[in-house]
Amino acid sequence: MFNNITHPLIMGILNVTPDSFSDGGKYTGIDSALAHAQCMISEGVDIIDIGGESTRPGAGPVSMEEQILRVIPVIKAIRKDLSSTLPISIDTTLSKVAEAALDAGATMINDISAGVQDAEILSLAAKQNVPIILMHINGQPENMQDAPFYQDVVREVLSAIQERVDAALAAGVAKHQIAIDPGIGFGKRRQDNLDLLANLDKFVATGYPVLLGTSRKRFMGSLCAVTEPADLVCATAATTALGVQQGVRMFRVHDVKENKQAADVAWAIKQAG
């Protein structure tokens, strides 16, 4: 999939969790999850990313069994009632959850730990020949914001991601099945996030497609004097447009319509240039 991206892709977030930072508890039932998936499809989503574990700052781990109970019925329902072909990503760090999701109809893996939490997830991606997104995180969600520190955040994150890419390749994952994510907000200070956003082109220069996930994140609220995540739709769209200009090809967002508009206009301008 990653070797033939011809335009920026919008990955819509479907959190089937009770405690996600922005939409926790809104889509834990099958009916509400399906309705939200249908809404995103109608707004032109390219990928739906389904997760059963919150990764907000301070969140604790969720067991494999509980994640499977949360995500599998939703994946099966989307495949049965909405679309047999729409790409579905499973957002998990655990290989058994990813395997169950792929068996249920998911088509790619989004691992915020890039195989650190469970190295078998890399072997699974290789064995099933599915795309995998490798994200950078400093620590675990429950402690990542305790005291993050970098001397040179761009260089250090690039180096850490390259290590995880090498691990994936060593596990047998095909190069064209790998995408990377700098992990905005995952163990970073506000200035770290801004430095990464100002240097997304350096991640694009690795040759691996880049996924950007800034949607409704707290550091933008501190810039805009906004406290409610749902009020950061315009701020998120601004980062989407800037990401397109720097060559980012995938955007993980809560608000599909607004970010698709931002991506489409930015892409047209970039093509004209």
From the CB of residue 52, how many other CB atoms can be counted at a distance below 10 Å? 25
Q: What is the pTM of this model?
A: 0.93
Among 246, 237, 155, residue whose Cα is nearest residue 209:
246
The C-alpha atoms of residue 141 and residue 61 are separated, in whole angstroms, by 8
Active site residues: 217, 252
One DSSP character per residue, 137-167 reads -SS-TTTTTSS---SSHHHHHHHHHHHHHHH
Any residues with CB less than 8 A from the CB of 161 and at least 6 apart, and which? Answer: 114, 134, 136, 180, 182, 203, 206
Q: In the structure encoding, which two tokens stand for residue 95, read together?
A: 């290989």
Q: What is the DSSP letter of 210?
A: B
Any residues with CB less than 8 A from the CB of 36 and at least 6 apart, and which? Answer: 14, 26, 27
Alpha carbons within 13 A on the beta-carbon side of 263: 26
**Domains, the chain, with CATH or none:** 7-272 (3.20.20.20)
Stated as kind and residue range, the H or E segment containing 48 is strand 47-51
Q: What's residue 55's pLDDT?
A: 76
pLDDT in tens, the chain (273 residues): 777 889 999 999 999 987 544 544 565 678 889 999 999 999 999 999 999 997 777 667 889 999 999 999 999 999 999 999 999 999 999 999 999 999 999 999 999 999 999 999 999 999 999 999 999 998 777 666 877 789 999 999 999 999 999 999 999 999 999 999 999 999 999 999 999 999 999 999 999 999 999 999 999 999 999 989 999 999 999 999 999 999 999 999 999 999 999 999 999 999 998
Query: What are the C-alpha distances in Å from 192 to residues 82, 206, 219?
Result: 39, 20, 10
Give the pLDDT confidence of 119-147 residue by residue, as tens digits.
999 999 999 999 999 999 987 776 668 77
The C-alpha atoms of residue 250 and residue 100 are separated, in whole angstroms, by 24
Q: What is the DSSP letter of 7?
A: S
Give the pLDDT confidence of 195-232 residue by residue, as tens digits.
999 999 999 999 999 999 999 999 999 999 998 999 99
Query: Locate tokens 């980012």: which residue?
Result: 248
